[in-house]
Amino acid sequence: MTRPHAMDNASPIDAWRLAHAPWYRPASDEAECFAAAYRARLPIMLKGPTGCGKTRLVEHMAWTLGRPLVTIACHEDMTAGDLVGRYLLDGNGTYWQDGPLTLAVRHGAICYLDEVVEARNDTTVAIHPLTDARRFLPIDKRNELVAAHPDFVLVVSFNPQYQHRSKDLKTSTRQRFVALEMGWPDARAEAEIVAHESGADAALARQLVELGERTRTLAAATLQEGASTRLLIYAATLIAGGMDARTACRIAIVQPLSDDADLCTAFTAVVDSMFA
């Protein structure tokens, strides 16, 4: 869980307001669809490969809509208490502390559950009353029903490529959301993103995007995914900082993609042919 920004105001949710406008380059109509779903207060599901911009879209929309953003990185050890809250003990006795989801529900933030399929099923079920007409959060430990603030919206994301039976979303959960499918931007848009985020020149960004596309083609038969836009940005950042292009591509693209020696050799040959 991350708090992007802290302020001195009394409201606890102000600590979750973004300090700066995140730069985002739309690939299609995802920003318009997100805004329409938010206006209707519909829960939103983002589907797409790793590093394609799901989190940046949520940050961009939170800034655009003027809402705090509570981001929660889901994992298999996360409990419902981690989301909702728990009783704590200090020198004065026990007291209740709202969890990040409860804060978002009470104060009208956008709550973003990143990689929601990593959460335990019992944790996922806890969000169900927030994703239908009820729009409330039950806190069993306090015998309390927290009505969602009118500005609250729940957003979740996951990568369909990594799903298997034990990590799939149940139908009862999936059908509570409108879904935006995200993928790799087209080559021109991706080059613009790589150049902007890394400070690299446009020609280098185009080369790296071509490399990314070639790894995605090569990986189709052996890997779930090729190089993400994020990895291309990492490589461009290293090269713009003075690192040799082949070295940068090896440590930022080839090695993160696979531990298979033959596949890494094939990827390295592609890098060498492009940056000889």
Rounded CA-CA distance 12/71 in Å is 15
Q: Give the pLDDT confidence of 134-163 residue by residue, as tens digits.
A: 999 999 989 999 999 999 999 999 888 765
Q: Are residues 24 and 137 in the same domain?
A: yes
pLDDT value of position 153: 98
In this structure, the answer to whether residues 210 and 167 fall within a common structural domain is no
Which of 72 and 219 is assigned the larger pLDDT?
Answer: 72
Per the confidence metrics, is the pTM higher than 0.85?
yes
79 and 107 inside one domain: yes
The whole-number average pLDDT for the span 243-257 is 96
Q: Is residue 241 situated within a structural domain?
A: yes
Co-location of 202 and 238 in the same domain = yes
Does the residue 270 lie in any domain? yes
CA–CA dist 224, 159 (Å, integer): 11
What percent of the chain stands above pLDDT 70? 93
80 and 204: one domain? no
Of 181, 210, 230, the residue at which a domain comes to its end is: 181
Is the Cβ–Cβ distance between 117 and 168 less than 8 Å?
Answer: yes
- Residues 196, 175 share a domain: no
Q: Closest Cα to residue 45, out of 100, 94, 113, 92?
A: 113
Please tell me whether residues 208 and 114 are part of one structural domain.
no
* Domain-located, residue 132: yes
Region of poorest pLDDT, from 2-16, 57-71, 99-113, 204-218: 2-16
The pLDDT assigned to 121 comes to 78
Q: Which range in 122-126, 167-171, 186-190 is most confidently predicted, on average pLDDT?
A: 186-190
Q: Is residue 2 part of a domain?
A: no
Of 136, 153, 181, the position where a domain reaches its end is: 181
User: If pLDDT is split at 50, 70 and 90, which confidence band does 8 have?
Assistant: very low
**Neighbour-count burial of 203, counting CB atoms closer than 10 A to its CB (0-12 exposed, 13-18 middle, 19+ buried):** exposed
Average pLDDT over residues 83-110: 93
The tens digit of pLDDT for each residue in 209-235 reads 999 999 888 766 677 788 999 999 999
91 is in which domain, residue-wise?
A: 12-181
3 found inside a domain: no
Q: Tell me if 4 is assigned to some domain.
A: no
Q: Is 247 found in the same domain as 202?
A: yes
Final residue before a domain boundary, out of 144, 159, 181? 181
CA 31 to chain centre: 15
pLDDT tier, 120 (very low <50, low <70, confident <90, very high otherwise): confident
Biggest CA-to-CA distance, the chain: 68
1 belongs to a structural domain: no
Q: How is residue 7 annotated by DSSP?
A: -
pLDDT greater than 50 at residue 90: yes
CATH of residue 103: 3.40.50.300
Residue 170: its pLDDT value, please? Answer: 80
**Same domain flag for 147 and 79:** yes
Q: Residue 208 falls within a domain, yes or no?
A: yes
Instruction: For residues 239 and 137, state if they share a domain.
Output: no
Same domain, 173 and 263: no
Q: Read off the pLDDT band of 276 (50, 70, 90).
A: confident
Same domain (yes/no): 155, 169: yes
CA–CA dist 194, 232 (Å, integer): 7
How confident is the model over 259-272, as a mean pLDDT? 91
What's the structural domain count of the chain? 2
Six token digits for residue 116: 């929601």
